[in-house]
Homo-oligomer: A and B are copies of this chain.
Amino acid sequence: MAGTNFSLYSENKNQELTPVIILVGPQLGENIGTTARAMLNCGFTELRIVNPREGWPNEKAVKASSGADIVIDNVKLFSDLESAVMDLKKVYATTARTRDMVKPVQTAELAAQEMFNLYANQERVGIVFGPEKAGLTNADISLCDMIIDIPLNPAFKSLNLAQAVLLVCYQFFQQQNAQDLTKSEITIRQSDRLAEKQEVFNFFERLEDKLDRNGFLRVTEKKEVMMNNIRNLFLKAELTHQEVKTLHGIIESIEKM
């Protein structure tokens, strides 16, 4: 299996700790294959796919992956982005377009530094890429903590999918190369650990349910935008496990009024 004897991971047997790449609605199997190849070039092995248009498994993906079997064979399929990121701690959206959204934006280089620090602390992160042409929807972006911007020639920014994946993964790989893993021993207190997405999304659902029943989201055409904004607001806070519990407590308390 390519990748398993990858020297950078020799001290860290659990290769699943590397960031997860998540493709939402990829249109062509070939692009999934070239993505897998680019991932493995940089030592990434975990690929999750939400609703691939051509279905899965896909022979064109296998061929285009040029032998990145360890990635292709372990692809996990999901029916929506939410379920694809449940077990992760921080999720980055990649988009070339400016969105009318309140969401922090980082360059790929700075994001890679941050991801590497989270990785060194065994916090799992994910990087989300949208469909080839349309890119991620605002609803999908609203589930993510941060937007990664890849600085490119502003007059010619359009990258193909695998090239975008390659640049983002390579930045992470450079961080690994630059740092001696044995030296980074940043410990985080258990109580400070970031919440899993499942905890955060549970809170969102509960909040949405309450707001729905109370008429806060009564204007149907505005509901999606409002919930996107609310998710963006709380995701910016990078909530810890304890903080999500506190938010539940606040809701319960106000309800009792």
Q: Is A66 an interface residue (CB 8 A)?
A: yes
Whether A255 and B257, one on each chain, are in contact in the complex, defined by CB atoms closer than 8 angstroms, is: yes
Can you identify 9 A-B contacts, CB atoms within 8 angstroms?
A2-B156, A41-B153, A153-B173, A166-B166, A166-B167, A215-B256, A229-B246, A230-B250, A257-B257
Whether A151 and B173, one on each chain, are in contact in the complex, defined by CB atoms closer than 8 angstroms, is: yes
Q: Is A21 an interface residue (CB 8 A)?
A: no
Q: Is A207 an interface residue (CB 8 A)?
A: yes
Whether B254 and A3, one on each chain, are in contact in the complex, defined by CB atoms closer than 8 angstroms, is: no
Which interface class (under 10, 10 to 19, 20 to 34, 35 or more) fits A?
35 or more
Q: Is A179 an interface residue (CB 8 A)?
A: no
Query: Copies of this chain, how many?
Result: 2
Measured between beta carbons, the chain B residues less than 8 angstroms from A37 are: 156, 160
Q: A: which residues have CB within 8 A of B?
A: 2-8, 34, 37-38, 40-43, 66-68, 100, 102, 104, 109, 151-160, 162-163, 166-167, 170, 173-174, 177, 189, 192, 207, 210-211, 213-216, 226, 229-230, 233-234, 236-240, 242-243, 246-247, 249-251, 253-257
Q: Which residue of B lies closest to A43 (CB)?
A: B153
Measured between beta carbons, the chain B residues less than 8 angstroms from A3 are: 153, 155-156
Whether B257 and A153, one on each chain, are in contact in the complex, defined by CB atoms closer than 8 angstroms, is: no
Whether A66 and B243, one on each chain, are in contact in the complex, defined by CB atoms closer than 8 angstroms, is: no
Q: How far is the CA of A256 from the CA of B246 in the complex (A)?
A: 21
Whether B233 and A41, one on each chain, are in contact in the complex, defined by CB atoms closer than 8 angstroms, is: no
On whether A236 and B233 interact (CB within 8 A), knowing A2-B155, A102-B243, the answer reads no
Whether A154 and B7, one on each chain, are in contact in the complex, defined by CB atoms closer than 8 angstroms, is: yes
Measured between beta carbons, the chain B residues less than 8 angstroms from A233 are: 237, 239, 243, 246-247
Measured between beta carbons, the chain B residues less than 8 angstroms from A157 are: 41
Given A233-B243, A251-B254; 15 other pairs, CB 8 A cutoff: A6-B154, A34-B160, A41-B158, A41-B163, A102-B242, A163-B166, A166-B167, A167-B167, A167-B170, A211-B250, A214-B253, A215-B253, A215-B256, A216-B249, A226-B246
